[in-house]
Amino acid sequence: MADNFKPMYWSKKIETDLKTDMVMCNWCDYSYDGEIKYGNRLKIIGAVKPTIVDYAKGTPLTPENLGDNSQYLDIDRAKAFCYGLDDVDKAQSMPEFHNAELDQAKEALAEEAETYVGTLAQKALTSMKSASTEITKANALEVIGDALIKLYKNKVTAKTPLAADLNAKHIMRAKEAMNSLFTENVDYVKNGAVGKYGNVYLRLATCLYNDGTDDWEMIRTKRAIAFANAIDKVTKSDNTYGFGVIVKGLHVYGAKVVRPKEMAVILAH
């Protein structure tokens, strides 16, 4: 059994399925150099905004040396799963076959990664955090608006797509305050959102950091947090405790706030 075990098949399958389970992790969009392996350091390629100068006809422009705005992201998180499987050949040969163990494993991996990204709310600038706020129907949208003002003051444009990762209470109070959340809109759904407020996707996040009183909700651009992950390896071995095989997998990742001025935090309860 399992002589035809294909580690790459399982790695790609879990990696693909992880993307559908992650919400906060998926709102991170950065280019990087390097291989995603545990212990590696990736170089994040950061663009530098050039200086705008007055132009006078006939006057030559002096090229500006933009320098290097790169940062580094450490792949310093490693989470693993290990379970027994009776018929690995069947699982590989039938695309529609989804064993419960694999589904549970990738959901657990996604939850771990989401929880870690949620803790990065603690890295928010003091000026970008709200006071502790009880969310009601009356203020559910107002506190989002206050966070947007902070972002716009930091020169985040009104056309820049933003994601608001909110707790369940905030989502429901916002829904009550709005006429419609347009849940049938495909563009919203593919971004993990239940609706949109201005240029902000409103998304239910279940792995927000909580300090014992408040959930630390985040409103941010895709550039605020860098996140890189991979299923580093999936292996099988004989199950010495019974029939079938043991399947083990390793998920490695790293995350970092790289543009703190593009992330606002709402302390909500």
* CATH label of the domain that carries residue 139: 3.30.2320
Interval 224-249 mean pLDDT: 80
Same domain, 79 and 128: no
Looking from the CA of 264 toward its CB, the CA atoms found within 13 Å total 25
Where does residue 91 rank: exposed (0-12), middle (13-18), buried (19+ CB within 10 A)?
buried
What is the domain extent for residue 82? 7-114+230-250
Clarify whether residues 12 and 93 are in a common domain.
yes
Based on the fold, state whether residues 12 and 75 are members of the same structural domain. yes
Q: What is the pLDDT of residue 92?
A: 58
The domain tally of the chain equals: 2
User: Helix (H) and strand (E) counts for the chain?
Assistant: 6, 12
Examine residue 201 and state whether it is found in any structural domain, yes or no: yes
Q: Please give the sequence-ordered ranges of beta strands (E in DSSP) within the chain, or none if there are none.
A: 32-33, 41-44, 71-74, 77-85, 162-166, 195-197, 200-204, 209-210, 215-220, 225-238, 245-257, 263-268
Do 220 and 130 fall into the same domain? yes
Q: Are residues 36 and 103 in the same domain?
A: yes
pLDDT at 169 (0 to 100): 96
Same domain (yes/no): 109, 235: yes
- Which residues are paired to 79 by β-bridges? 251
Q: Are residues 52 and 125 in the same domain?
A: no
Which pLDDT tens digit goes with each residue over 242-256? 666 777 889 999 999
**Residue 205 pLDDT:** 94
Are 69 and 196 part of one and the same domain?
no
Q: Do 80 and 21 belong to one domain?
A: yes
Secondary structure percentages of the chain, helix, strand, coil, to 5: 30, 30, 40
Mean pLDDT confidence for 237-241: 72
Query: Is 2 inside a domain boundary?
Result: no
Tokens of 133: 């706020």
Average pLDDT for the chain: 83
Query: CB 181: neighbour CB atoms within 10 A?
Result: 17
In a domain, 186, yes or no: yes
Q: Quick one: 210 and 126 in the same domain? A: yes
Q: End-to-end CA distance of the chain, in Å? A: 52
Alpha helices, DSSP H only, in 120-181? 140-153, 168-177
Which DSSP category does 24 fall into?
Answer: T
Question: Is 171 a member of any domain?
Answer: yes
For residues 72 and 171, membership in a common domain is answered with no
Q: What is the mean pLDDT of residues 181-205?
A: 71
Specify if 1 maps to a domain: no
Shared domain check, 125 and 108? no
Q: Which of the pair, 72 or 6, is modelled with greater confidence? A: 72
What pLDDT score does 5 carry?
56
pLDDT digits (tens, 9 = 90+) for 139-158: 999 999 999 999 999 999 98
